[in-house]
Amino acid sequence: MKAVILEKQDLLENTPLQIKEIPMPEPGSHEVRLKVSVCGVCRTDLHIAEGELPAHKLPLIPGHQIVGTIDGLGTGVTRWCGGERVGVPWLYKTCGKCRYCRRGQENLCDNASFTGYDADGGFAEYTIAPEDFVYRLPENYGDLEVAPLLCAGVIGYQSLHATGLKDEGRLGLFGFGSSAHIVIQVAIHQGLEVYVVSRTEKELTLAKALGAHWVGHIDDDMGVLLDAGIVFAPSGELLVESLKKLDKGGRIVSAGIYTTPLPGFDYTLIYPEKCLTSIAHTTRDSVQAFLKVASEFKIKTQVNIFRLEEANKAFLAIKNSSVSGSTVLKIT
């Protein structure tokens, strides 16, 4: 089968991703094999490729927003019969035994494995996944539309939940890439007023088209203070700047797995009772809860489509902010 292989972490400009022919994987005990249709490209994939996140496995097939059809069952599989359209997100497997797993925080599992990082992912014609970490997808989405929901959507939803806002309030989104262009629709659906900060005009235009109450740059005056904010851009400086936009008792949530160092800041930026926190990975409950929400109304995903052979080009497009919305590799 064809697969995109990362053999050595390097700058994307040096084309570290290579297309190769490798043997088709065989599912083991309690695993299923997917014939991959599409796989979303996430900024986390870029951090892995360029070495901003340390390598856990090399060579590696990246990709963790996988949509495909189950075409092979390992021994002991009971949840699936074969032929189902399913998705595989970032969380690949947990131990189920550590204190985090026991108290419902499996995203913090001491022995978790992650798709396209610890285990080969979806930038390939076929992939393997544990049967308990595979999800049936909402029928109101095509393959290309649903792929970004599996990471960008889930992370955005989990970040929104972490803000504590429910059916009213002012929410800021800092950075308007794949995740933000999904979560803005969920937030507005829930009754929140959304303010969007971005460096690029095309992203601000998209935010406005998706219903943002206000759009602008970080130094612009919003005219109000926010009840909460989510920072998607991997910038420690932006995390600090976002605190300046926050009202008393508000909360800033960092949605990224990586960010540049935070500069020093004055205590008044977190007083009185302001909070700066982060989310880590996802849980199976989060994935299932978000997919249920996604089935209740149609989230519009703006998708930039690349062929499998164009993986380096797709990565560079995200790195250089030359695309808006989500990016997807079309495998078959």
Q: Is 260 exposed, middle or buried (0-12, 13-18, 19+ CB in 10 A)?
A: middle
In the chain, which segments carry CATH 3.40.50.720? 153-278
In angstroms, the CA 28 to CA 135 distance is 18
Residue pair 326/181 in contact (Cβ under 8 Å)? The answer is yes
Per-residue pLDDT of the chain (332 residues; tens, 9 = 90+): 999 999 999 999 999 999 999 999 999 999 999 999 999 999 999 999 999 999 999 999 999 999 999 999 999 999 999 999 999 999 999 999 999 999 999 999 999 999 999 999 999 999 999 999 999 999 999 999 999 999 999 999 999 999 999 989 999 999 999 999 999 999 999 999 999 999 999 999 999 999 999 999 999 999 999 999 999 999 999 999 999 999 999 999 999 999 999 999 999 999 999 999 999 989 999 999 999 999 999 999 989 999 999 999 999 999 998 888 899 999 98
CA end-to-end distance (rounded Å), the chain: 12
Which amino acid does the sequence have at 187? Answer: A
Radius of gyration of the chain (CA): 19
Structure tokens given for 188: 């507005």
Structure tokens given for 76: 């002991």
In angstroms, the CA 90 to CA 68 distance is 15
CA quadruple 260, 261, 266, 271: dihedral sign:
positive
Task: Give ∠ CA 235-240-244 in degrees, rounded to 5.
Answer: 135
- Measured N-to-C along each axis, helices 178-189 and 201-209 cross at an angle, to the nearest 10 degrees, of 20
Structure tokens given for 324: 């808006």
In the chain, which segments carry CATH 3.90.180.10? 2-148+282-330
Q: Give the CATH H-level superfamily of domain 153-278.
A: NAD(P)-binding Rossmann-like Domain (3.40.50.720)
In angstroms, the CA 144 to CA 158 distance is 22
pTM: 0.91
The SS3 of residue 98 is coil
123-167 pLDDT, tens digit per residue, is 999 999 999 999 999 999 999 999 999 999 999 999 999 999 998
The SS3 of residue 155 is helix
CATH T-level fold of 2-148+282-330? Quinone Oxidoreductase; Chain A, domain 1 (3.90.180)
Structure tokens given for 222: 């919003």
278-287 pLDDT, tens digit per residue, is 999 899 999 9
Structure tokens given for 230: 């989510």
Q: Which of 172, 206, 175, 205 is nearest to 302 (CA)?
A: 206
In angstroms, the CA 224 to CA 239 distance is 18
The SS3 of residue 78 is coil
In angstroms, the CA 126 to CA 168 distance is 43
